[in-house]
Amino acid sequence: MPVLSEEAPVVRGMTYDQMLERVRYEGAYPTRERAEDTVLAVLAALGRQITGEERVDLAARLPVEAAHALASQIPAIEPLTGWGFVKDLAGRIGGTPATARWDTGAVLNVVADLAGPDLLDRVLAQLPPGYGLLFGRAELARAA
Protein backbone atom coordinates (compact mmCIF):
# COMPACT_ATOMS: atom_id res chain seq x y z
CA MET A 1 0.00 0.00 0.00
CA PRO A 2 1.41 3.39 -0.95
CA VAL A 3 2.50 5.81 1.75
CA LEU A 4 1.51 9.42 1.22
CA SER A 5 4.27 11.92 0.74
CA GLU A 6 4.01 15.66 0.96
CA GLU A 7 3.94 15.78 -2.85
CA ALA A 8 1.15 13.21 -3.18
CA PRO A 9 -1.67 14.66 -5.28
CA VAL A 10 -5.25 14.74 -4.06
CA VAL A 11 -7.38 12.29 -6.02
CA ARG A 12 -10.31 14.23 -7.44
CA GLY A 13 -13.50 13.06 -9.07
CA MET A 14 -13.52 9.46 -7.92
CA THR A 15 -16.98 7.95 -8.27
CA TYR A 16 -18.46 5.67 -5.64
CA ASP A 17 -18.06 2.69 -7.98
CA GLN A 18 -14.40 3.56 -8.51
CA MET A 19 -13.92 3.86 -4.77
CA LEU A 20 -15.51 0.45 -4.21
CA GLU A 21 -13.34 -1.14 -6.88
CA ARG A 22 -10.21 0.35 -5.36
CA VAL A 23 -11.18 -0.86 -1.87
CA ARG A 24 -12.04 -4.25 -3.34
CA TYR A 25 -8.57 -4.43 -4.87
CA GLU A 26 -6.73 -3.08 -1.77
CA GLY A 27 -8.61 -5.41 0.57
CA ALA A 28 -8.65 -8.42 -1.81
CA TYR A 29 -12.40 -8.78 -1.27
CA PRO A 30 -14.16 -11.40 -3.41
CA THR A 31 -17.16 -9.23 -4.31
CA ARG A 32 -18.17 -5.61 -4.78
CA GLU A 33 -20.85 -6.12 -2.12
CA ARG A 34 -18.24 -7.14 0.45
CA ALA A 35 -16.18 -4.07 -0.42
CA GLU A 36 -19.25 -1.84 -0.09
CA ASP A 37 -20.21 -3.30 3.30
CA THR A 38 -16.66 -2.63 4.45
CA VAL A 39 -16.60 0.94 3.13
CA LEU A 40 -19.89 1.80 4.80
CA ALA A 41 -18.92 0.22 8.15
CA VAL A 42 -15.49 1.86 8.31
CA LEU A 43 -16.75 5.29 7.24
CA ALA A 44 -19.60 5.14 9.76
CA ALA A 45 -17.08 4.30 12.48
CA LEU A 46 -14.81 7.16 11.34
CA GLY A 47 -17.80 9.50 11.30
CA ARG A 48 -18.25 8.82 15.01
CA GLN A 49 -14.68 9.99 15.64
CA ILE A 50 -14.12 13.20 13.69
CA THR A 51 -15.89 16.52 14.08
CA GLY A 52 -15.84 20.11 12.92
CA GLU A 53 -14.31 21.46 9.75
CA GLU A 54 -12.26 18.32 9.20
CA ARG A 55 -15.43 16.22 9.09
CA VAL A 56 -17.08 18.61 6.62
CA ASP A 57 -13.97 18.92 4.44
CA LEU A 58 -13.41 15.16 4.37
CA ALA A 59 -17.04 14.48 3.46
CA ALA A 60 -16.71 16.99 0.60
CA ARG A 61 -13.81 14.99 -0.88
CA LEU A 62 -15.63 11.66 -0.79
CA PRO A 63 -18.15 10.35 -3.31
CA VAL A 64 -21.69 11.25 -2.21
CA GLU A 65 -22.62 7.77 -0.94
CA ALA A 66 -19.42 7.52 1.09
CA ALA A 67 -19.85 11.07 2.41
CA HIS A 68 -23.33 10.19 3.62
CA ALA A 69 -22.00 7.17 5.55
CA LEU A 70 -19.42 9.41 7.25
CA ALA A 71 -21.57 12.45 7.93
CA SER A 72 -24.73 10.67 9.07
CA GLN A 73 -23.09 9.52 12.30
CA ILE A 74 -23.35 11.30 15.63
CA PRO A 75 -19.83 11.94 16.94
CA ALA A 76 -18.85 9.96 20.03
CA ILE A 77 -18.57 11.82 23.32
CA GLU A 78 -15.20 10.23 24.04
CA PRO A 79 -12.96 9.53 21.05
CA LEU A 80 -11.36 6.12 20.68
CA THR A 81 -7.65 5.48 20.20
CA GLY A 82 -6.68 3.82 16.93
CA TRP A 83 -6.70 0.39 18.59
CA GLY A 84 -10.04 1.19 20.29
CA PHE A 85 -11.43 2.14 16.87
CA VAL A 86 -10.41 -1.26 15.45
CA LYS A 87 -11.86 -3.18 18.43
CA ASP A 88 -15.11 -1.19 18.25
CA LEU A 89 -15.40 -1.86 14.53
CA ALA A 90 -14.78 -5.59 15.10
CA GLY A 91 -17.63 -5.66 17.61
CA ARG A 92 -20.00 -3.83 15.29
CA ILE A 93 -19.29 -5.99 12.21
CA GLY A 94 -19.00 -9.26 14.11
CA GLY A 95 -15.41 -9.90 13.09
CA THR A 96 -12.07 -10.25 14.78
CA PRO A 97 -9.74 -7.34 15.53
CA ALA A 98 -7.39 -8.69 12.84
CA THR A 99 -10.06 -8.62 10.13
CA ALA A 100 -11.31 -5.23 11.33
CA ARG A 101 -7.74 -3.88 11.10
CA TRP A 102 -7.48 -5.23 7.55
CA ASP A 103 -10.83 -3.68 6.61
CA THR A 104 -9.87 -0.37 8.17
CA GLY A 105 -6.60 -0.21 6.24
CA ALA A 106 -8.25 -1.10 2.94
CA VAL A 107 -10.76 1.74 3.28
CA LEU A 108 -8.68 4.41 4.99
CA ASN A 109 -5.82 4.13 2.49
CA VAL A 110 -8.29 5.13 -0.22
CA VAL A 111 -9.75 7.86 2.01
CA ALA A 112 -6.24 9.20 2.64
CA ASP A 113 -5.66 9.54 -1.09
CA LEU A 114 -8.98 11.32 -1.54
CA ALA A 115 -8.29 13.64 1.39
CA GLY A 116 -4.80 14.62 0.35
CA PRO A 117 -1.89 15.24 2.71
CA ASP A 118 -2.98 18.61 4.12
CA LEU A 119 -6.48 17.54 5.11
CA LEU A 120 -5.21 14.19 6.36
CA ASP A 121 -2.75 16.04 8.62
CA ARG A 122 -5.64 18.04 10.07
CA VAL A 123 -7.78 14.93 10.57
CA LEU A 124 -4.95 13.07 12.28
CA ALA A 125 -4.19 16.05 14.53
CA GLN A 126 -7.77 15.88 15.80
CA LEU A 127 -7.72 12.14 16.52
CA PRO A 128 -6.11 10.31 19.46
CA PRO A 129 -2.90 8.29 18.90
CA GLY A 130 -2.92 5.28 16.62
CA TYR A 131 -4.81 6.53 13.59
CA GLY A 132 -1.80 7.36 11.43
CA LEU A 133 -1.07 3.69 10.83
CA LEU A 134 -4.72 3.05 10.00
CA PHE A 135 -4.44 5.63 7.21
CA GLY A 136 -1.22 4.06 5.92
CA ARG A 137 1.12 6.62 7.47
CA ALA A 138 4.05 6.09 9.76
CA GLU A 139 3.28 7.49 13.18
CA LEU A 140 5.97 8.88 15.41
CA ALA A 141 5.71 8.63 19.17
CA ARG A 142 4.60 11.89 20.74
CA ALA A 143 7.00 13.60 23.12
CA ALA A 144 6.13 13.28 26.80
Is 142 a member of any domain? no
- Band (pLDDT 50/70/90 cuts) for residue 2 is very low
Q: Looking at residues 9-28, what average pLDDT do you find?
A: 87
CATH of the domain at 29: 1.10.490.110
Is 86 a member of any domain? yes
What is the pLDDT at residue 143? 53
What is the pLDDT at residue 97? 97
Q: Specify the number of domains making up the chain.
A: 1
Proportion of the chain above pLDDT 70, given as a percent: 87
Is 1 a member of any domain? no
With 0-12 CB in 10 A as exposed, 13-18 as middle and 19+ as buried, what is 20?
buried
- Band (pLDDT 50/70/90 cuts) for residue 64 is very high
Predicted TM-score of the model (pTM): 0.88
Long-range contacts of 76-81 (CB under 8 A, 24+ apart): 76/48, 76/49, 79/49, 79/127, 79/128, 80/49, 80/128, 81/128, 81/129, 81/130
Phi and psi based region of residue 75 (left: phi greater than 0; alpha: psi -120 to 50; beta: remaining)? beta
Is 139 a member of any domain? no
d(C-alpha 48, C-alpha 73), whole Å = 6
Is 38 a member of any domain? yes
Q: How far is CA 47 from the centre of its chain?
A: 9
Q: Looking at residues 111-130, what average pLDDT do you find?
A: 95
Is 42 a member of any domain? yes
Q: Which domain holds residue 89?
A: 16-134
Is 10 a member of any domain? no
Give the model confidence (pLDDT) of 90-118 as tens digits. 999 999 999 999 999 999 999 999 999 99
